[in-house]
Amino acid sequence: MGTEMFEAMRNSILDGDEELAKELAESALHENLDLTSVMNDGFLRGIQEMGELYQAGEYFLPELVCAADAMKAALEILTPALKSSSNHAGMSKGQVVLATVAGDVHDIGKKIVAAMLTAGGYDVYDLGVDVPVEKIVEIVAERKPDVLGLSALLTTTMQEQKNTIALLENRGLRNQVKVIVGGAPVSSRWAELIHADGYSDNAIDAVKLVTRLISER
Ligand code: B1M
């Protein structure tokens, strides 16, 4: 039964069917399905395949936007449950601040990273998209998170990851927080170049990375 349901979740994203995605997310909650599998084997597969199909020129912008809306609808339903899941049990493993950098509005991948971190027991504070460097640094100073995660999907906005690290250094905050970077054009080489503490190319590894970095603190 699980497999069919996961397949339906994947398809609901590929078909951009927001209503169905919501219904399936609600059914997953009612049926007490493992939410990490619901994400990884269901909805996440759909949005990843959509990205690939778009890049291959097989799907176009309208389909993409509908898929993004369906994914967001499913995430809205699942996130509160992910937060209160037994994994979380009211005891946060640490705080992660996430942002998509200035000039960049891509947030589907970052929301998935946020959902997986939440499921993994972390307290996630998501600043949203197109967040100016100053704002990110201000929030780091205020909230003192264990980890700051910066997402960038455009080659033109990757530079803002570097600028954020530079401003953290400039304000004397760099040693207080581990900085991780991600997003399609980002690489481990880039992370090294800008002196980030880590890079991951997907949401699952982002959780492992955060766990490792926090354990090293
Ligand atoms: Co845009 N876009 N887009 N786009 N878009 C890309 C990124 C692009 C590669 C498409 C292409 O041309 N082939 C291209 C960038 C080229 C480049 O710079 N190299 C591009 C462009 C050019 C643009 C516009 C400029 C188009 C235009 O207007 N002419 C424009 C820019 C807007 C802006 O930001 N200022 C634009 C707009 C849009 C939409 C608004 C239509 C929409 C975004 C909707 C939204 O996010 N709310 C959109 C989309 C959806 C895409 C593609 C098709 C898919 C991105 C996505 O959601 N993938 C993308 C092509 C592609 O990547 N295949 C493309 C699915 C998602 C699950 O994967 O985001 O990679 P991803 O996240 C992964 C990992 O990267 C990682 O984990 C996630 C889950 O596994 N990850 C992290 C992400 N962040 C992380 C952070 C971490 C760790 C891991 O730690 C902090």
Q: Is the CB of 97 under 6 A from ligand 1?
A: no
Secondary structure letter of residue 183 according to DSSP: S
Strand partners, 95: 123
Give the C-alpha separation, 36 to 43, whole Å: 10
Three-state SS string over 80-136 comes to HHHHCCCCCCCCCCCEEEEEEECCCCCCHHHHHHHHHHHHCCCEEEECCCCECHHHH
Same domain, 111 and 61: no
Q: What pLDDT does residue 1 have?
A: 52
Which domain-ending residue is among 88, 117, 132?
88
Q: Does residue 65 sit in the same domain as residue 135?
A: no
- Decide: 114 and 143 in contact? Cβ < 8 Å: no
Contact by Cβ (8 Å): 13, 48? no
- Cβ pair 91, 121 in contact under 8 A: yes
The answer on 139 and 41 residing in a single domain is no
The pLDDT value recorded for residue 90 is 58
Residue 104 in contact with ligand 1 by CB distance below 6 A: yes
Range of the domain at 160: 95-215
| Domain match, 190 and 115 both | yes
User: How many domains in the chain?
Assistant: 2
Q: Does one domain contain both 126 and 179?
A: yes
In the block, which residue shows the tokens 């890049």? 55
| Residue ID of nearest Cα to ligand 1 atom 24 | 154
**Same domain? 185 vs 117:** yes
- Plot region of 130 (φ>0 → left; ψ -120 to 50 → alpha; else → beta): left
Residue 185: CATH number of its domain: 3.40.50.280
Distance 11 CA to ligand 1 centre (A): 20
Residues 21-35 pLDDT 10s: 999 999 999 999 988
Are 84 and 117 found together in one domain?
Answer: no
**Do residues 34 and 119 both lie within one domain?**
no
Ligand 1 geometric centre to CA of 105 (Å): 8
**Do residues 206 and 131 share a domain?**
yes
Name the closest-CA residue to atom 57, ligand 1.
108
Identify the domain boundary among 66, 88, 110. Answer: 88
Q: Which of 19, 49, 24 is nearest to 38 (CA)?
A: 24
Residue 74: how many other CB atoms lie within 10 Å: 30
Shared domain for 180 and 125, answered yes or no, is: yes
Q: Say yes or no: CB of residue 160 within 6 Å of ligand 1.
A: no
Instruction: List the CATH number of the domain containing 45.
Output: 1.10.1240.10
Where a domain ends, among 65, 88, 111?
A: 88
* Residues of the chain with confidence (pLDDT) below 50: 86, 88
pTM of the model: 0.86
CA of 90 to the centre of ligand 1 (A): 33
Mutate to test the pocket of ligand 1, among 110, 124, 153 (most ligand atoms within 8 A of CB): 153
pLDDT value at position 86?
Answer: 46
Q: What is the pLDDT of residue 211?
A: 95
Same domain, 146 and 189: yes
Best probe residue, ligand 1, of 44, 106, 208 (max atoms within 8 Å of C-beta):
106
Residue of minimum CA distance from atom 22 in ligand 1: 154
> Is residue 106 located within the same domain as residue 211?
yes
Other Cβ atoms closer than 10 A to 75: 20
